[in-house]
Structure 1
């Protein structure tokens, strides 16, 4: 599948059922994922977006996925 970039990637992420918020800066797209998001969903998310493994982080019990912006 073709790699989704910027506008299409943001649109896909905003419509994803387990992503609560999408924040965009000049260099990255940061997604706040809900507690319902499961590790089993990661391969499908990567396949749908065509992205390499994004950076994943957690802070104060909130999980984030960080995609590079193209």
Structure 2
């Protein structure tokens, strides 16, 4: 097995394409998961609080946020 510069460049390009494809595939899962969570939260807000909705954007921002209130 002999490594030439052309062989090496070919292998690097092939590995690079494989890594790029893997990244594209793995990034789809968190995005669809977050989309589903957001949709569930929106459905919950709309069904439980339909008559009192004024600022849906603010309700969604608070519901999706990872920051928990420190009420003591």
Measured against the shorter chain, the TM-score band is under 0.3
Using CA pairs below 8 Å that are at least 6 residues apart, which structure has the higher relative contact order? 1
- TM-score, with normalisation over the residues of structure 1? 0.27
Question: Which entry has the higher C-alpha Rg, 1 or 2?
Answer: 2
Name whichever structure is richer in helix by fraction: 2
Under a length normalisation based on structure 2, what TM-score does the superposition of the two structures give?
0.27
